Amino acid sequence: MRNIFVAFLLLSSLSFFGQKGASISFEKWISLKGVGGPLISPDGKVIVYSVTTTDWANNTYDNELWMVKENEAPVQLTRTNKNSTGNAMFTPDGKWVSFIADRGDKRQIYLIAVSGGEAMQITKDEDGINNYAWSPDGTKIVYSKSQPKSKKDKTKEERYGAFGIEGEEYQQNHLWILNFNYDSIVMAGQLPCYSSKDSVNKTADCVSLPVAKPLTEGDFNVGGFYWSRDGKQIAFNRSINPLINSGITSDIVLIDVATKKMTTVISNPVGDFFSTWSPDGKAFVYSSLIDDSISNFYKNNRLFIYDVVTKSSLEIAKDIDENKSVYDWNKSGLFLGAFDKTKYKLYQVNPKTGATENIPIPLDLPGGIVFSKNSDVIAVSGRNYSGLNEIFSWRLKQPMKQITNSSAQIKDWNTPLNEVIQWKSKDGAGIEGVLLKPRNYDPKKKYPLLVLIHGGPTGIDLPEPTPAYVYPVMQWVEKGALVLRVNYRGSAGYGATFRALNVRNLGVGDMWDVVSGVEYLASKNMIDTSRMGCMGWSQGGYISAFLTTNTNMFKAISVGAGISNWVTYYVNTDITPFTRQYLQATPWNDMDIYLKTSPMTNINKASTPTLIQHGEFDRRVPIPNAYELYRGLQDRSIPSKLIVYKGFGHGINKPKERLAAVWHNWQWFNRYVFGEKEETMALDDKF
């Protein structure tokens, strides 16, 4: 026992010693619990939500379901060992919660009673299940799964080994229908199915789990799917295959459950996607690109109501100049959500005119909003700027009742102060950013500045107490720095015109927005311009790389999964249309625009010490981009390091490697911006 205690003290002292100036360890910060994904029972009396925790032992994040009944305390509903629980739904009668989990038998559907008890497995599909939906009367379940490899494919692989043909490596997803009867689930396996070990005929009293039958078949892919209100049809999104770029081929199809007859109801030249049925089932909402395959990455999405009887469509919410998300269409109305700068707003749509009305909601950033079927109670997840995400119950135009208290985790933390600021960029464009200050901020003092740039480019930075991912923002602010998070041109929340300002201007205009933000703070005598750093991931990594090769204003830069050369990116990424849309060209017909916007073009001007972080198997921003930038910096003898996170794609989604990436950024900027001796990681590992 004494040895364990000594080891604990040693680990604790190393952890805090290695984070000079920070009162909260990186491990504790990464271990914050998060809540989200609310559901509400039909009668509005029970809310289920998910809680995400950090499982250091298994190096993963665990997602489990919690439940709260009216006027009672929340209780944990599920525990799936070494795997997460997800895809939760209430059964139509509200007595049960179904969910998908892998409990050693691939991903299957389970059922647990709201009144308590153990979860029961209700499917046993040998291939596992992707997603599912209950029929309105609760007698059927439709689910999707990936088609297994055919016998021919397996034989080919056995003979010729493993190889892949670009654009042909996929399994189509299809729908399967399952009859559900609670009694058969309970009785399954309680009696032997065969009278003897040699028998091949099942006995009459044998009960086993129901077996699903295919509902769709063919050389196409099923995306999202939705039961009609009467349970006679299912609407689904059909595309040529499940590859990411094939979404542009999506049509909306109705299938008759009894006859399997399919009818294509929406088939525009470019992608159509089902959203939700009207309460009477005579119409539905869908989003569509109509005929836009050259600018949909940065333009607003478009929403329509389709009248099933008249077969006509009405565009709605045209007065909202932002991307819109459909929450629900119920007896109370049709509800949407959209960003308005750094706040997220709730809207109600007039189905006859398509006009919208803002519905006040007492949160800066509502997330999930779920309406109960038979009451006026609503379950909401969201937060205000100063807190963490919480779960609430709500009635329109009334105060919210808070259910969770996630923010209690940080009540004693020295979190930053957040302020939304505005300035003008080089070309006069208005830019906003979130400025984070220490709680003991002194306006007479000049602070080191760290600039953190979000991805996207249609992402957005928002005020928050504990900015996450792989940049220890909270700890740097406590250490005595300011952090500027720039909502550069192209960011969400500011309208379609603003999002298009970096078309054929990537990197260049983005750089203007970052540099002008720094200059604005300098003009206010807030920052020490001799101690500044910059960092970002994905598109933020690209902008950071662009700043590395086109400026010398920063003492250090960190490039996370960033583009270094648009030609390299174009021929390697899994989303080639992205490049064609923003640069409005291929390299083969306009190399000048690719050179103008690529960090590597001005590699000979680079002088800033640069850390490069990248996932080994990144398909979104493939790793040749990292090697190209690294080699260019190395050839010019510029201090640089390339760290490859083994086994990861575009994001670092495991806690241990995320901890390592945080440490790598902490050490890099502490050395070059704060001028400190390089700190060691826990257990004295060298960087």
| pLDDT higher at 155 or 319 | 319
Instruction: Give the model's pLDDT for residue 3.
Output: 40
Instruction: Give the model's pLDDT for residue 186.
Output: 66
Beta strand 96-102 pairing with 85-90: antiparallel
255-261: average pLDDT = 98
Flag whether pLDDT at 406 surpasses 90: yes
Instruction: Give the model's pLDDT for residue 149.
Output: 82
Question: Residue 178 corresponds to which tokens in the numbers above?
Answer: 């399952």
Note whether 570 and 576 are within 8 A (CB): yes
Query: CB under 8 Å to 341, separation ≥6 — which residues?
Result: 420, 432, 493, 494
By percentage, how much of the chain surpasses pLDDT 70? 93
- The position carrying tokens 């609310």 is 38
How far apart are the C-alpha atoms of 488 and 512, rounded to whole Å?
9
Least confident of 19-28, 282-291, 305-314, 516-525: 19-28
Residues linked to residue 175 through DSSP beta bridges, in sequence order:
144
How far apart are the C-alpha atoms of 206 and 188, rounded to whole Å?
8
Cα–Cα separations (whole angstroms), residue 296 to 248, 287, 291, 300, 580: 10, 12, 10, 7, 11
Instruction: Give the model's pLDDT for residue 198.
Output: 62
| pLDDT higher at 613 or 677 | 613
The alpha carbon dihedral of 173, 177, 181, 186 has a sign of negative
Instruction: Give the model's pLDDT for residue 195.
Output: 56
Model confidence band, residue 163 (pLDDT cutoffs 50, 70, 90)? confident
Q: Is residue 148 classed as helix, strand or coil in its secondary structure?
A: coil
Query: CB under 8 Å to 98, separation ≥6 — which residues?
Result: 88, 89, 90, 91, 109, 110, 111, 112, 122, 132, 134
Instruction: Give the model's pLDDT for residue 154.
Output: 83
CB 305: neighbour CB atoms within 10 A?
21
CB 341: neighbour CB atoms within 10 A?
18
For residue range 407-447, list pLDDT tens digits in order.
999 999 999 999 999 999 999 999 999 999 999 999 999 99
How far apart are the C-alpha atoms of 50 and 87, rounded to whole Å?
10
Note whether 567 and 598 are within 8 A (CB): yes
Model confidence band, residue 236 (pLDDT cutoffs 50, 70, 90)? very high
| pLDDT higher at 190 or 38 | 38
| pLDDT higher at 176 or 5 | 176
Flag whether pLDDT at 529 surpasses 70: yes
Instruction: Give the model's pLDDT for residue 148.
Output: 87
For residue range 553-577, list pLDDT tens digits in order.
999 999 999 999 999 999 999 999 9
Residue 292 exposed, middle or buried by CB count within 10 Å (0-12, 13-18, 19+): middle
| pLDDT higher at 464 or 8 | 464
In terms of CATH, what superfamily is 414-675? Alpha/Beta hydrolase fold, catalytic domain (3.40.50.1820)
| pLDDT higher at 6 or 679 | 679
How far apart are the C-alpha atoms of 509 and 520, rounded to whole Å?
16
375-391: average pLDDT = 97
For residue range 92-134, list pLDDT tens digits in order.
999 999 999 999 999 999 999 999 889 999 999 999 999 999 9
For residue range 608-654, list pLDDT tens digits in order.
999 999 999 999 999 999 999 999 999 999 999 999 999 999 999 99
Least confident of 4-13, 202-211, 600-609, 643-652: 4-13
Cα–Cα separations (whole angstroms), residue 558 to 152, 468, 529, 611: 48, 16, 18, 5
Note whether 337 and 345 are within 8 A (CB): yes
Note whether 46 and 67 are within 8 A (CB): yes
Note whether 93 and 113 are within 8 A (CB): no
Could you state, in order of their start, the residue ranges of all structural domains in the chain? 414-675
For residue range 21-62, list pLDDT tens digits in order.
889 999 999 999 999 999 999 999 999 999 999 999 999 999
Helix (H) or strand (E) holding 580: helix 576-583
Flag whether pLDDT at 549 surpasses 80: yes
How far apart are the C-alpha atoms of 119 and 109, rounded to whole Å?
10
Flag whether pLDDT at 181 surpasses 80: yes
219-234: average pLDDT = 97
Flag whether pLDDT at 202 surpasses 80: no
Report which of 330, 328, 329 is spatially closest to residue 368, judged by C-alpha positions. Answer: 328
Beta strand 213-214 pairing with 173-179: antiparallel
Query: CB under 8 Å to 44, separation ≥6 — which residues?
Result: 372, 374, 375, 376, 377
